[in-house]
A and B are shown apart, each in its own frame.
Chain A
Amino acid sequence: DTGVSQNPRHKITKRGQNVTFRCDPISEHNRLYWYRQTLGQGPEFLTYFQNEAQLEKSRLLSDRFSAERPKGSFSTLEIQRTEQGDSAMYLCASSLDTGGYQPQHFGDGTRLSIL
């Protein structure tokens, strides 16, 4: 399977703990995005990488959130001191910058539940 892969699929943790999610994009895709989705809502943009450079961050991305994409391949999203409001599905997507209109390919997400 050459799609976007996210791990873990589910994460349950206690409030105050740190969590880290991983995203492996489609190998030739140079753009990588993180989104957060709550029940009944569309995805909300969190941050975006072009290769290894983090080019944009949403104001939703508080200082407890940090994302990295070392070497422009896989990416990690870390949430420190988790709060109950962080419970959501975290989606990763990747796309190829060809100068045209390319769809973003989404992974199946990591569902985070804060106890």
Chain B
Amino acid sequence: KNQVEQSPQSLIILEGKNCTLQCNYTVSPFSNLRWYKQDTGRGPVSLTIMTFSENTKSNGRYTATLDADTKQSSLHITASQLSDSASYICVVSKGRVTGGGNKLTFGTGTQLKVEL
């Protein structure tokens, strides 16, 4: 069973609208949570990294939140653009190691499509 679950699996929104993607995890012990954007046929690109003590982090129009008590995270995209069409992957790092080795557990991603 995947320890990082994302919802929805896919989402279609109109350009200019906002959306929120969800991530629930059971990875323990928790170190940090990352959101990546992956365009079709490309490698993932880091958007945010949050540690246990951080509950929100922004990167331009992307804002990630973290509730370490409920083990939930969200990624909010504001004023969506066509270029936001991509897969958004939630990644949780466990243990005290800062991400080396097999410490990262990837979700299966939310496929976002932004239309005119």
Chain A residues within CB distance 8 Å of chain B: 4, 31, 40-45, 48, 50, 55-56, 58, 91, 93, 95, 97, 99-109, 111
Contact mask for chain B residues 47-86; partner A; CB cutoff 8 A; 1 contact, 0 none: 0010100000000000000000000000000000000000
Contact of A106 with B32 at beta-carbon distance under 8 Å, contacts A45-B102, A95-B99 already known: no
Interface size on B, residues (CB 8 A): 26
Q: Which of A41, A99, A104 contacts B108 (CB 8 A)?
A: A41
25 A-B pairs in the complex with CB atoms less than 8 angstroms apart: A31-B100, A40-B108, A40-B109, A41-B108, A41-B109, A45-B101, A45-B102, A56-B101, A56-B102, A91-B43, A97-B98, A99-B98, A100-B98, A101-B31, A101-B51, A101-B93, A101-B99, A102-B98, A103-B34, A104-B99, A104-B104, A105-B46, A107-B43, A108-B42, A109-B42
Q: A42-B106, A91-B43, A101-B32 are in contact. List 10 more A-B contacts (CB 8 A).
A: A4-B43, A45-B101, A55-B101, A58-B102, A95-B99, A95-B100, A97-B98, A101-B49, A104-B99, A106-B44
